[in-house]
Structure 1
Amino acid sequence: MNPEVLPPAERRDMVRRLLALCHIINDLVEIAETGVADGGPIPETLCAQALQIQTVVRDVVVDLVANGHAERSDAA
């Protein structure tokens, strides 16, 4: 067994947690873009960093899911 390959149950759990994180980041991006937090101004750097985090986490989820599909295809 390849130690770098996550078992399906662990992969599903990781994807669930990452998706939950994506939802939180989406909320953060919305707050940063609209400036609706406590009524105060939101720094542009916060918005840029939130968008960068959103992109990275989304890429991780996509890679994780794609690798899971590739593992099943290789096994067939």
Structure 2
Amino acid sequence: VDFGETLPDANVLKAAADALVNYSGELAGAAQAWQPTEAEAFTALVVMIPTMNEYFNSWRASRFISGEAATQRDFVAISR
């Protein structure tokens, strides 16, 4: 029997699904409870603006905005 020719162990899949539900719930609860400080908000802006600037420049030059005159051909293909 080669890889891909059998079904995965159902217990492993169930454990993975249970862990995903558990960790997702913990993350959602922590996100709801978090109150960022001014310093955290400022730091997030300082760190993310250069990243988002590149993203929006790429989007602005894409065919979604510029239509047929677009110069950006890889907007949908770049993982961000």
Q: TM-score, normalised by structure 1?
A: 0.37
Q: Which of the pair has the greater relative contact order for Cα pairs under 8 Å at 6+ separation?
A: 1
Larger fraction in helix = 1
Superposition TM-score, scaled by structure 2 size: 0.35
Structure of greater Rg = 2
